Amino acid sequence: MEEDKIHLMCWRAILTMLVLAMADSHSYGAICPAACRCENDVLKTTCSSASLEFVPIQLNPELHELDLSNNRIVQLHFSFPFYEKLVALNLSNNRIKTLGNSNFNSQRNLTRLDLSANQIENLSKDSLKGLKALTHLDLSNNSLEELQSAAFRDLHSLSVLRLSGNRLIHLEEGLFHTGKHLKELYLNDNQFLEVPTAALADTTRLHYLSLSRNYILTVEEGDMPNLSELRILLLDNNVLTDIHPAGLSNLITLEHLDVSDNNLTAMPTSSLAKLSTLTSLKLSGNFISSIPPVAFKGLFHLRILRIDRLETLAIIDVRAFVDNINLEAVNMDYNIGMTKLPTRLFHGNPKVKHISVRANNLRTLEATHFPLDQLHELRVGGNPLQCNCSLGWLWQLIQEYKSKSSRINATISGPKKEKLPSFDLAIDDSDITCEGPEDLKEALLSSASRHQMDCSVGWMAAVSVAVTVVFILVVIGGVVYWAPKRQSKSTKKELSVEETIRRSLPQPTIHRKTEAYDTYETAQVEKYILPPPMMIHNEYRSLPSWDTYATPSMNIYEQLNEHRDRPHIVYV
């Protein structure tokens, strides 16, 4: 073992002398290999794709930048002691399996090290020893399965660390203990089953965290440590089924959240409500079937929203975006279960400028769906639209858009330079095709004629309408005229029935004074009060005096029953 060390030291000394000898015989102290490009004026050498199997040692020792990417380099032993002034080193896309120990110990000025796309399987505690000035380290797309807690102990200045595309399942506590300046951490494309909470607890100044394309199932309360400066969090392409209402509560400065392409079946409204500073949200590619009222509650600063590729989405409540008063752009493309939009869905968003509802299953669109007076861009292509006169408003907008485009093209190609008119509204007119009617099937809506988009009625339709109106008026008049008569007949019939019933019943004897009786009675009274009237020309005759003893012309008792007593007459 001792002899091996001595042997290696001898070779190192020999190589050093050779380099110094070459430095004395060249103006820049170096030999530039034929496959490399040396820029000694800026102290930069590029040997990318040069089929190198070893790191060249005859380059300018004053180099600041060295690019050895896309070669066949396997090992790094005793390769960089000659380049102590390196600032940037690119070793990506080689065949390096191990970094060894202390191979970068002399690179005290190195700030950027790219080791991506190699075959590195592990890092020892001394693999990165000496890199105290390193700010950017790229270890992505290697074969790392675990990292010792002391692997980054010398990286006191590290601000960007890329560990994506490895086989990491767990990160040990204390791994980033010295990473107080770490701002960006890429852990995507690994095999994490949960958020590596213990390791992240030391990254208090983290601004960017990517956990995309892992196997994280849920975000429980406390899984996200107190990352008070985190701005961007990527959790897309995991298997998330749920986010605890308090799972993101520690991310008080979060501005961008991506939870697309997961297994969410319901809107995580309560979880999102804690992110009051959020400006951009992606929920694409989940299995959400409905978006309820105030679905994005408390997100008053939200500006960009993507709810596209939600294959099961069928219902959006008209009040879904009422809290999002700063919303500017909404993408709702490829929601194949969406057959209609709520009327005035976006009218509560005074700053919305860009709306895209492409490739849904919308058969018709109404102008009231969109705040057309404030939009800058409207994308509706790819829907199975029925191109009847109800789409006349869209046809008219397309014609205006094409007309403006033609004028601008003419202005650009013309000899005179004029001020170009600005578009009020950009439309994807070349993608808006018709599913029906038959004469417009698979044709562009813009190719329809004005007559096909005209909703005014022809003379036949006018006649039909007139006949219908007259018929309705006749029916109403008939009802008004015959209803009272029918009611009168019905009343009479009811009275007749009542009279029949009344007459069939026994009636009590009621002495009613008739007009003749009243006349007779009055005449009898006047007979005893008034004197007998005078005869005038025999026109009036007085009644004979009533002599009770006179012989009457007839026997007044003849009609009386012989068994009856004679009446007792009292003279007054």
Q: Higher pLDDT residue, 186 or 100? A: 186
Q: 359 falls in which pLDDT band (50, 70, 90)?
A: very high
Q: How many Cβ atoms are within 10 Å of 102's Cβ, its own excluded?
A: 13
pLDDT band at 463 (very low <50, low <70, confident <90, very high): low
Q: What is the mean pLDDT of residues 395-403?
A: 86
**pLDDT band with cut points at 50, 70 and 90 for residue 170:** very high
Number of CB atoms found within 10 A of residue 440's CB:
21
3-state secondary structure 418-483: CCCCCCCCEECHHHCEEEECHHHCCCEHHHCCCCCCCCCCCHHHHHHHHHHHHHHHHHHHHHHHHH
DSSP 87: S
Please write the tens of the pLDDT for every residue from 275-324. 999 999 999 999 999 999 999 999 999 999 999 999 999 999 999 999 99
The one-letter amino acid at 421: P
Structure tokens that stand for 432 in this block: 């808006």
Give the per-residue pLDDT at 569: 54
Q: Which residue has the higher pLDDT, 30 or 553?
A: 30
Higher pLDDT, 111 or 455: 111
Element (H, E) at 520: helix 515-529
The predicted structure's pLDDT at residue 438: 87
- What sign for the dihedral angle of Cα 152, 155, 156, 162? negative
- Cα–Cα dist 242/157, whole Å: 36
In this predicted structure, the answer to whether residue 106 has a pLDDT above a threshold of 50 is yes
pLDDT at 504: 58
Residues 6+ apart with CB under 8 A from 334: 308, 309, 358, 359, 360
Whole-number percent of the chain with pLDDT over 70: 74
Query: Is residue 500 helix, strand or coil?
Result: helix
Per-residue pLDDT tens digits for 233-283: 999 999 999 999 999 999 999 999 999 999 999 999 999 999 999 999 999
Q: What is the pLDDT of residue 7?
A: 45
SS3 content of the chain, % helix, strand, coil (to 5): 25, 10, 65
Q: Over the stretch 506-524, which tens digit does the pLDDT of each residue have? A: 555 545 444 544 544 555 5
Q: Is the pLDDT of residue 191 over 90?
A: yes
The residue assigned the tokens 């007076």 is 373
Range from 197-211, 350-364, 424-438, 463-477 carrying the lowest mean pLDDT: 463-477
Give the pLDDT score at 82. Answer: 85
- Residue 9 — pLDDT band, cuts 50, 70, 90? very low
Distance CA 175, CA 144 (A): 14
Q: Are 83 and 57 in contact (CB under 8 A)?
A: no
Mean pLDDT of the chain: 82
Average pLDDT for residues 179-207, to the nearest whole number?
Answer: 95
pLDDT at 31 over 60: yes
- Contact (Cβ atoms closer than 8 angstroms) between residue 317 and residue 340: no
Q: Round to whole Å and give the CA distance between 110 and 45.
A: 15
Q: How confident is the model at residue 135 (pLDDT cuts 50, 70, 90)?
A: very high
Q: Which of 109, 103, 67, 104 is nearest to 85 (CA)?
A: 109
Distance from the first to the final alpha carbon of the chain: 177
pTM: 0.74
pLDDT at 400 over 60: yes
Q: Using pLDDT thresholds of 50, 70 and 90, give the confidence band for residue 21.
A: very low
* pLDDT, average across residues 76-90: 91
Give the tens place of pLDDT for each residue, 542-569. 455 555 444 444 554 444 455 545 555 5
- pLDDT tier at 1 (50, 70, 90 boundaries)? very low
pLDDT band for 401, please (50, 70, 90 cuts).
confident
Pairing of strands 44-46, 37-39: antiparallel
Amino acid identity for residue 502 in this structure:
R
